[in-house]
Structure 1
Amino acid sequence: MTEQTEKLQTAKSKANRNMAIGLAVFVSCMVGVAYAAVPLYELFCRVTGYGGTTQQASSSPVDVIDREITIRFDANIGYGLAWDFKPITKPITLKVGETAEANYQVVNIGKAPSAGTATFNVTPQAAGIYFNKLDCFCFTYQEVKAGESVKMPVVFFVDPDIDKDPNLETIDTITLSYTFFPQEREEAALTEKKQSKAGIGTES
């Protein structure tokens, strides 16, 4: 093998190595951006109501108007979680601005303790910005023992400003939907840390 050939192979190996390092850095950056995008997207949804994301309120509205809306409740379980999850409150018809409480129930039908975290949304999606929760079990690590039954309440109201939205003037029914996904304690701690950094408060 000539000296020139060796130099070419060395240069080629160095170029391949640099390309591999560059690709690894690129992939790492993309993964980091993806993880960062989750809490930021969630924050965006909470602020705007995009995607049917509801709002978090600290107090009930002062005014209650005559318009009535029926609230229906829906429950779902993500793959890998051996729970029976369902609403135990039937549809509620209330005046806009009136506060109400609904209850869901989780039963661990598996043979071991397991845990999950619930996400939520409402339909129609445009109503999300007007649907406010005063108390909720969403985005909170929930561990349930084998065979255990747990009642999970949510306290809410529909903001009277919905009556000023021409796109929702004919809406008389809103569906509140929760989905539980399996989650380990370590994952929950990481999620809460990311939410904290993004300025997202954990609801309980």
Structure 2
Amino acid sequence: MNIDVTMPRSFVAQGFINGEDAKEAPFPTENPVDSLEVPSYRAFQVTMINAGNPAIFINAEALGLRGNEMQADVNDNAELLRKCEAIRAYAAVRMRRVDPTTININARILSMGKLHHATTGTGGVAIAVAGAIPGTVVNRLVANKAGGSIRFGHPSGVMAVGAQAEQKDGAWVVTKAIMLRTARRLMEGPSSLAPELRTLHHDYCHA
């Protein structure tokens, strides 16, 4: 077996057996192929599957591509990037990755001159703070319906954020900002530390 990579080394086989995704049906729509209507574009024949990651498969020809493009061919094509983002956003709703009834607002963040594929953590904090201060654009959209927290939709899903702010001497001061993210245990087991590292670890954890 040959694998063409930049720095070939010994083979390592990775297996994924009965993972979290195995509890869900691989096709959120229950169809191996769907017609996905994307406003401002057209309907695309796509496969929407949840295996490892939620993914959307579409023929390259449907996007005006050959299938052998390199990064620059895609990243330098602004219209193609907009089209791909639109397809992904509408597919996310069809795949029930985003339930429109569970979010307060939609938000999109531009980073490095391009639309972010999801949202930045710091951008989420900014949304939380803006939502907590009366009179801002964000606050006007979520006032009286966010209950102190904001769930906003982005191209890859939903993020929940919240903040507290108060006025002191006529100026707004942010006292707390919270961003909810998910985490899962990656490993469990003993570890060995050098004596000097044990002391450093103890001092840090009990500071």
- Shorter-chain TM-score: which interval? under 0.3
Q: What is the TM-score normalised by the length of structure 2?
A: 0.24
Q: What is the TM-score normalised by the length of structure 1?
A: 0.24
Greater strand proportion:
1
Structure number with the bigger relative contact order (C-alpha 8 A, sep ≥ 6) is 1
Greater helix proportion:
1
